[in-house]
Amino acid sequence: MSLSELKIIANRIRRRDLRAVFEAGAGHIGGEMSVTDILTALYFAVLNVDPDAPLDPNRDRLILSKGHTALALYITLSERGFIPKDEISTYFRPHSRLNGHPDRTKVPGVETNTGPLGHGLPVGVGMAKAAKLSNAAWRTFVITGDGEMQEGSNWEAIMAAAQFKLDNLTLIIDHNRLQQGAWLAETNNIAPLAPKLEAFGWAVEEIDGHDMAAICNAMSPQSMVVGKPKCVVAHTKKGQGISFMTDNVAWHHKVPNAEQVELGMAELEAAAKSKELVQ
């Protein structure tokens, strides 16, 4: 799939996300916009997954550890054919399987139930270890938020992954520099992340998390480092794609009003028609 096609899909996911948050009156739109390009690249250019065989033992595994941005995952899964596109309108509704946080027992393509932060990476370490024990080639990817890296359980997993030489494991940190209440730097400044991961024995690459080519390259099999787990520090912006939300702490889980939806949608539609996307 071409970079242009990936960008068009990411733009479509953002538009659906904006509308879904408005319709549901809920979501974590800031972090959904920051992770959308990463999810798009993974599901359409990197992951070996099959919507018709979501439990194929040899599939690649993706864990969205920042489970509060489940809506972006659901929309990506619907674009990839795991769930029907029209099901997105049930998000947050009573008895919908599209809960505010993903449930693997109900939604095909979800690998583990996340929501409480700091859970995805330990589970990813177990998956990668299982593949190693089975001499299997499938890979494991985990996406965390940057604020989420404040959870101690991540560092337990980081130590174990290096000890076990899990080069089949890739951690992508959605480094949007904002957490719920304030800037990361004002809260518990875990940045810079790269030297910390390097000190723990990981191979680290820093990229622009909205540069589709950079994301794809950083996840490619060629970029794997033998004997070391890999961390991709993806520099992103909360609310990416909608100017008044970008880098704005107010949009962690704020719900836009009708006027704001119009404004945001106009920007995303303009981007969809821009030279960059249609070339």
Partner 1 sequence: MKFQNGAGELHDCRDAFTSMLEAMAERDPDIVAVCNDSVGSSKLVGFRERWPERLINVGIAEQNLVGVGAGLANGGKLPFVCAAACFLTGRALEQIKADVAYSNTNVKLCGISSGMAYGELGPTHHSTEDFAWVRAIPNIAVVAPADRIETAAATAWAAAYNGPVFLRISRVGVPDLFTESHKFELGRADMLRDGKDLTIIANGTLTHRAVCAAEILNAGGIGARVVNMASVRPIDEDAIVSAASDTGAILTCEEHTIFGGLGSAVAEVVVENVPVPLKRLGVPGIFVPTGSANFLLDEFGMSPDGIAESAIELLRKKA
Closest CB 157 distance from partner 1, rounded Å: 5
Pairwise CA distance, residues 52 & 251, whole Å: 36
Identify which of residues 116 and 181 has a Cβ nearer to partner 1 in the complex.
116
Identify which of residues 123 and 143 has a Cβ nearer to partner 1 in the complex.
123
Identify which of residues 34 and 114 has a Cβ nearer to partner 1 in the complex.
114
Closest CB 115 distance from partner 1, rounded Å: 7
Half-sphere exposure of 28 (CA within 13 A, CB side): 25
Closest CB 130 distance from partner 1, rounded Å: 2
Closest CB 152 distance from partner 1, rounded Å: 7
**What is the DSSP track for the chain?**
--HHHHHHHHHHHHHHHHHHHHHHT---HHHHHHHHHHHHHIIIII----TT-TT-TTS-EEEESSGGGHHHHHHHHHHHTSS-GGGGGGTTSTT-S--SS--TTTSTT--S---STT-HHHHHHHHHHHHHHTT----EEEEEETGGGGSHHHHHHHHHHHHTT-TTEEEEEEE-SB-SSSBHHHH-----HHHHHHHTT-EEEEEETT-HHHHHHHHSGGG--TTS-EEEEEE--TTTTSTTTTT-GGGSS----HHHHHHHHHHHHHHHHSHHHH-
Identify which of residues 121 and 197 has a Cβ nearer to partner 1 in the complex.
121
Query: Which has the closest alpha carbon to 139: 220, 77, 40?
Result: 220
Closest CB 107 distance from partner 1, rounded Å: 12
Identify which of residues 156 and 206 has a Cβ nearer to partner 1 in the complex.
156
Identify which of residues 119 and 235 has a Cβ nearer to partner 1 in the complex.
119
Closest CB 134 distance from partner 1, rounded Å: 7
Closest CB 94 distance from partner 1, rounded Å: 19
Peptide bond into 192 cis (omega under 30): yes
Identify which of residues 171 and 216 has a Cβ nearer to partner 1 in the complex.
171
Point out which residues bind partner 1 (CB under 8 A).
57, 61, 103-105, 111-116, 118-119, 121-131, 133-134, 140, 152-153, 156-157, 159-160, 163-164
